[in-house]
Every structure is written in structure tokens, then in C-alpha cells.
Amino acid sequence: MSIVVTGATGHLGRRVVEQLLEKVPAEEITAVVRTPEKAADLAERGVRIAVADYNDPATFDGLFATGDKVLLISGNEFDKGRAGQHKVVLDAARTAGVALFAYTSAPGSLTAALADDHRTTEEAILASGVPYVLLRNGWYHENYTEHLAPVLEHGAVVQAAGEGRVASASRADYAAAAVAVLTGEDHEDKTYELSGDTAWGFTEYTAELSERSGKEIAYNSVSVEVLKGILTGAGLPEPLAAILAGVDASIEKGELAVTTGDLSRLTGRPTTPISESITAGLKG
């Protein structure tokens, strides 16, 4: 039996593997990656490395074994049909007869186009008959705190979210929830709505950022169309810019402000405050 983590060298996947190493022997962990060189440090620690690609179904043949617990971390290639990529992994898991299939989905409250592939994947999981856990991850602090240089340079946070609020949490928090499910009991066929304990607005966010950076940062609320233009002007493909701007529209409607407490209950601790991630982002 192994705990198998796909996308294991990504932002979330690596955190999951690192936290699993604190709870189970390394030989019980399989890290699925596309580029094994990026997982060399994990291999040195005894983690089994498997090379597979969501776009190549044959690479998943025989990768899973009966009794495995699998975490499918959703793909980030929005232009390659993520639901189809996810089904490749699901089909391999069903064929193997895995004990648990966990999937990092989107909040049930989210109506933005970003959620479409997740809903399609969830439907396929439910239809498969595989014992499942849906980890409906909310927004990450790091979506706003990892790339602060342009914000600090221009003295402005530009969003199309109006006065909407975001109940975000850190990637480490979401990783801890996944680890709790993969190493715990009685999670089969459950859905967890995961979010931060406290929802914040962008006016509060910019005030916190101003205080911690020592710079005057303003919040500029713009329309969805204006934000799409800004994002495409910065080099993002138009479809991706539309998806990201659509999330802001959902934020304005309150769709990412839902606080269920599921995340802190699974991890056994309060979620990380946005202020801590801002501090980390400024140091980075």
C-alpha cells in the first residue's frame, strides 16, 4: 500500500509530500511527477518517484496498486482539457482498485468558469464507484502574496472584486488537510468545503500590505473587462485572463467568502492569517 500524490513537485503537491514525510515512512509515499530531476531531493529521502503525465494515459498504466490512497491534484493547464486529464488518473485508479481517491476541487459556491472542469471531474468521480474524498479547496493566500513586486512598484492592488471578501488560507493549510485525509480514517465518500477561518476584503488587504511594507498601497477596483485588458496586456492568454477576471466577479458576489470551518477541523488548528502570508511574501 502506498500514498500516491500526483503533481508532487508543484506548489501544493510538494507541501503535501513534505508533510506526509512527518507522519509516515518515506517508502510508503509515491510522488508522481513529469520531471524526475525536480524530485531528486525527495528520492534521496526515500520517496518512490513515478514519472507520468496527465496528457499521456499510457504512463499511468500499472502506476497504482490495490489498496493505494491517491491524491489527484488538479492540473493547471487550462487550455488542455483538465477534466479529460483528470479522468486519465481516475480511470487508472479505478482499474487498480484503490482504497481512496482524493481530489482537489473548487468550492461548491463558485460559479466562475474556473469551476467547470472541477464539476465535470467530480461527476466522473461519483460515477466511477471509487471510494472518494472531494477536497474543495478555497482560494490561496499565495495567489496575492507570492508576486508582490509589481504591487509595491506601482503602489496599487488592482482587482475587479469590488467590496467582495475572500476566505483564503495558505497552501500549507490545504496541504495539511489533504494529509489528514490520506493518513486518517472514515473520510470515504465525503466532501469537505475548505476555506480560511476569516474572510477579508481588498481594502483590509491593502491596509495590511501598506503597514507591513512601509509603502502606501491603494486598492483600485476596476471592471471585469478592464481587468481582462490589464491581464492580457501583461502577457496572459486571453482565455486565461477571462477565467481569472471571472473569479473576481465571483468574489464580488460573495462566492469565495464562505467559511465552513472544515479546514481547521481537519487540520486541528486555526488557518493561517493572511497577514502571515503577506509577511512571508515581502521577505521572498
What integer is the mean pLDDT of 220-233?
A: 96
Note the residue count of the chain: 284
pLDDT tens digits, one per residue of 230-259: 999 989 999 889 999 999 999 999 999 999
100-105 and 69-72: which strand pairing? parallel
CA dist., res. 117 & res. 139, Å (int): 16
Give Cα separations from 124 to 109, 118, 245 (angstroms). 19, 10, 27
- Contacts by 42-47, CB closer than 8 A, 24 or more apart: 42/8, 42/9, 42/17, 45/21, 47/17, 47/21
CA dist., res. 198 & res. 221, Å (int): 21
pLDDT tens digits, one per residue of 106-147: 999 999 999 999 999 999 999 999 999 999 999 999 999 998
pLDDT of residue 80: 62
CA dist., res. 260 & res. 246, Å (int): 23
pLDDT of residue 1: 77
C-alpha cell at 27: 517508502
For residue 218, give the 3-state DSSP assignment: strand
CA dist., res. 93 & res. 87, Å (int): 10
pLDDT of residue 77: 72
CA dist., res. 48 & res. 31, Å (int): 6
Residue 30, class by beta-carbon neighbours within 10 Å (0-12 exposed, 13-18 middle, 19+ buried)? Answer: buried
What integer is the mean pLDDT of 153-172?
A: 97
Q: Which CATH number fits domain 3-138+171-194+258-272: 3.90.226.10, 1.10.150.120, 3.40.50.720, 3.40.50.300?
A: 3.40.50.720
C-alpha cell at 29: 509515499
Q: Read off the DSSP letter of residue 184.
A: S
C-alpha cell at 76: 493547471
Minimum mean pLDDT among 42-46, 51-55, 200-204: which range?
51-55
CA dist., res. 242 & res. 244, Å (int): 6
pLDDT of residue 76: 77
CA angle 234, 147, 240 (to 5 degrees): 40
Residue spans of the domains in the chain: they are 3-138+171-194+258-272
Strand partners, 140: 169
155: left (phi over 0), alpha (psi -120 to 50) or beta: left
CB atoms under 10 Å from CB of 57, counted, come to: 16
pLDDT tens digits, one per residue of 11-49: 999 999 999 999 999 999 999 999 999 999 999 999 999
CA angle 143, 226, 213 (to 5 degrees): 40
Q: Torsion angle, CA of 9/64/81/73, rounded to 10 degrees? A: -40
Q: List Cβ neighbours of 44 (8 Å cut-off, separation of 6 or more).
A: none
Of the candidates 20, 22, 23, the residue with the CA atom closest to the CA atom of residue 31:
20
pLDDT of residue 78: 66
pLDDT tens digits, one per residue of 71-111: 999 987 766 678 999 999 999 999 999 999 999 999 999 99
